[in-house]
Amino acid sequence: MISFTGPHKAVAFDRVEKSHYMPAFRSAIESSRQKIAKIVSDPSTPSFENTIEALEYSLLSLKRLELVFFNINAAETSKEIQQIAQEISPVLSEFYNDITLNRELFHKVKNIYDQRDQLSLSVEQQKLLEETYKSFVRNGANLNDEAKNEFRRITRELASLSLKFEENLLDETNAYTLHLTNNEDLSGLPAFVVEAASMEAKSRQLKGWVFTLKAPSYMAFMKYADNRKLREQLYRAYSSRCFHNNEKDNQEIIRRIAALRLEMARLLGYDTYAAYILEKRMAETPENVNVFLHEMLEKALPVARREYDELKEYIVRKGADLRLQRWDWPYYAEKLRKEMFDISDEMTKPYFRLDNVEKGIFDLIGMLYGLTIKAVDNIPVYHPGVRTFEVVDSNDPKERLLALLYLDYFPREGKQGGAWMTNYLEQHKDNEKDNRPHVSLVFNFTKPTNSEPSLLTYDELRTFLHEFGHALHSIMSECSYWSLSGTNVYRDFVELPSQIMENWGEEKEWLDRVAIHYKTGEKIPAEMLEKLIRSRNFNNGYAFVRQLSFGFNDMAWHSLTQPYEGPVAEFELKAMAATELFPPVEGCCFSTGFHHIFGGGYAAGYYGYKWAEVLDADAFSLFKQNGIFDRKTAQSFRENILSRGGTEHPMVLYKRFRGREPSIDALLERSRLK
């Protein structure tokens, strides 16, 4: 069994072995089955307490086990863990289908839902009832027996396919290395990049330097390497992951996932999968999303084209005879940025030591919300590189514990790429006892070298802020029910707490506290800081359009009305055509590595990143108006957004904080698109 005997009932990772997971899943599933059977067989009149609440509580142990296992599968996986994931996923899918397709149980849920106006329920209880009922309906409860069997088949296969997509992507990412032994090939690379590549080579018992497709290595090489052919080689390797017609190819998996999602949507009475998903989003309909994406594109594309032309002119001025390609953009854009603003990552990284950035973020949380984050060494961890903390509320005379926090900073083979926040325990109340969340932040930051500590790029600093915003959404949750707490909100609302945090990364008042040279201890010079802030919007139009292109691609896959059987690369080329500035690259495909929508939970929801930017820019304008460290404004954000989870509709919560609906003006102004 999986032990939760660490302090604060943390996962006892020091006692967990891979062989424990399957027996633990079987036991938890059986326990939940028995509890649900009691709900169904209860002869009492169905009530909120004996049905809706009882159902919520019946799943808690299983849901916690799922969090533990699938988080490990993302952050510290292995072939054995991946095999267990493939084995248990269809079992879990079948189990949850057994709940929502149970005719007697749904009859009880519907009976309560139909009487909801006569019940004396709190706002949160009303929301739990509504979400429970809709979950049954949206997962096939109203289908006939034949259609229910089809629904089971579809969801079972989808669970397996998404896992396979992620496994293939991780394997392909890990499989590629660029091994260099010639000093000339290192031209243009800063010393910190070269040293990291040398350490990577030594870890593989190789001479020379090794570059990988992990973010810190890949992005640094693309930005600084003078050797254009090697940049192209690395770009093609990254952009063709799972697109090689081999056993790791994701093309058929994508087509099958899209077809199954469409089939499921049709089964439930929707024209497209996007229509099914967006019913439970702030945007509400595919039409609204497409209007939003095109409106944003209309504002951003002229700016992006101007930036593209400016970079071409710069290349000509530098005497380079080439056609601007995708592997040239980061390289020449960085050179132009340095020329225009006299600023570069190489100049700023010494001021962004990870330890200092961590402390600066902790201090910021203290200033805004009165939280104290204390390092502890008695919490078991799943990898030696993970650090643990207690988050306490210093506003409380007793310094109430708000959360456990795990920080996992550096890349390794068993970890997926990117950065994310997750939980090992969701905040919830059980018999009036408040169970505080166990929150984890996982990154792929630049590792320390033999001569330097971990030094962050400015983008990595913003990533840290972003993910910490997600963490705060869980840490400050004050909800009764697991399924409504923390980040269990609409997908196009969940990015508001994360993206609003990034704004402090553009504020001189905060950066001046964080940016301290790791060798000299001196603060970043005011002139350099000013240049860094001014350069933030450099090529913002291009970045804006690139993000929109992902949203268009996502919506195209999930707006299908017939299964697509053609080439995946051709499909995405057409979907993203309105956003493209570059010629297509033969042999490359974005979709086969688009884990957000085919492996993660952002299907028909990637637009939400841009929608959340509208929210965060509008919300942060209130901080700008009242002072970026204003405790009263922060307290309002905490009470009306962060603590409420999904207990009310997001727009209700937002309007309660802001006093009105969001306006796009703040985003356009911040992005200099207005």
Same domain, 53 and 17: yes
Please indicate, yes or no, if residue 349 is contained in any of the structural domains: no
Q: Find out whether 363 and 513 touch, Cβ atoms under 8 Å.
A: yes
Q: How far, in Å, CA of 552 to CA of 558, rounded?
A: 10
Q: For 226-240, what is each residue's pLDDT tens digit?
A: 999 999 999 999 999
Same domain, 66 and 197: no
Please indicate, yes or no, if residue 155 is contained in any of the structural domains: yes
Same domain, 57 and 154: yes
Catalytic center residues: 467
* Model pLDDT, residue 431: 82
Q: Tell me the helix, strand and coil percentages in the chain, rounded to 5.
A: 60, 10, 30
Q: Which residues span the domain enclosing 180?
A: 176-239
* Model pLDDT, residue 432: 81
* Model pLDDT, residue 648: 97
Which residue, 174, 175, 220, is CA-closest to 197? 220
Which residue, 420, 379, 466, is CA-closest to 74? 420
Q: How far, in Å, CA of 203 to CA of 172, rounded?
A: 19
* Model pLDDT, residue 537: 87
Please indicate, yes or no, if residue 222 is contained in any of the structural domains: yes
* Model pLDDT, residue 357: 98
Same domain, 128 and 201: no
Please indicate, yes or no, if residue 134 is contained in any of the structural domains: yes
Same domain, 144 and 191: no
C-alpha triplet 60, 61, 62: angle, nearest 5°: 90
Same domain, 103 and 155: yes
Please indicate, yes or no, if residue 64 is contained in any of the structural domains: yes
Q: How far, in Å, CA of 53 to CA of 373, rounded?
A: 33
Same domain, 88 and 191: no
Which residue, 615, 610, 604, 571, is CA-closest to 589? 571
Q: For 627-646, what is each residue's pLDDT tens digit?
A: 999 999 999 999 999 999 99
Please indicate, yes or no, if residue 196 is contained in any of the structural domains: yes
> Which of 224, 239, 254 finishes a domain?
239
Give the strand pairing for 428-430 and 433-435: antiparallel
> Which of 108, 139, 167 finishes a domain?
167
Which residue, 549, 579, 537, is CA-closest to 674? 537
Same domain, 129 and 185: no
Same domain, 157 and 194: no
Same domain, 81 and 180: no
Same domain, 160 and 194: no
Q: How far, in Å, CA of 348 to CA of 449, rounded?
A: 17
Please indicate, yes or no, if residue 598 is contained in any of the structural domains: no
> Which of 139, 167, 195 finishes a domain?
167
Across the 674 residues of the chain, what is the mean pLDDT of every consecutive 10-residue run? 91 96 97 98 97 98 98 97 96 97 98 97 98 98 97 96 96 97 97 95 97 96 98 98 97 98 98 97 97 96 97 94 95 96 93 97 98 97 98 93 98 94 97 94 94 95 98 98 98 96 96 95 93 91 97 98 98 98 96 95 95 96 97 98 98 97 91 81
Structural domain count, the chain:
2
Please indicate, yes or no, if residue 44 is contained in any of the structural domains: yes
Cβ neighbors of 159 (< 8 A, separation 6 or more) are 89, 90, 92, 93
Which residue, 402, 614, 414, is CA-closest to 495? 614
CATH code of residue 98: 1.10.1370.40
The pTM of this model reads 0.94
Same domain, 182 and 218: yes
* Model pLDDT, residue 58: 98
